[in-house]
A = this chain, B = another copy of it.
Amino acid sequence: MLLMGEYHHQIDEKSRIRIPAKLKDALGESPVILKGTDGCLFVYSQEAMNNMFATKFANNDFTQADKTKALRLLTSSTVVTEEDKQGRILLPQNLIKHAGIVKNIVTIGAFDRVEIWSEERWNAYANLDSDGYDECLKKIASKDE
């Protein structure tokens, strides 16, 4: 399922957010949220996450320093979401901080995952003038092979 679209929401006083219904359907039961790149949050389905962990950390061997560090950073910044009866998710403080979320958030579909941004950061990151957008796409094209 290809995830796409851009949705604007707010986090409430109790640090709860809502995943837009259209994205939520595609994510399945209890997706996971983790710190993402460029100061956003990634939301993956359980399935995608399990695959990732299973392949990367099949045998958790603490004698390998590199692997152990990656494991620690990744697992410590990941949480399994739990919806309350109103369909909202409680967002942990460390993730809120990572994403620089204050009030307004932007939720986007990003191919195989959902991303959660603070509105300010998303605007700074994505609000390109038309030239910038063209430039960005050209880079993708030239890097194809």
Contact = CB atoms under 8 A, between A and B. Distances in A.
Interface in A56-79: 56-57, 59-60, 62-63, 65-66, 68-79
A76 B109 CA distance: 6
Contacts of A60: 110-113
Interface string A96-130: 00100000000011111101000000000110000
Contacts of A38: 65, 68, 134
Interface of A: 2-6, 32, 35-38, 42, 50, 53, 55-57, 59-60, 62-63, 65-66, 68-80, 92, 94, 98, 108-113, 115, 125-126, 132-134, 136-140, 143
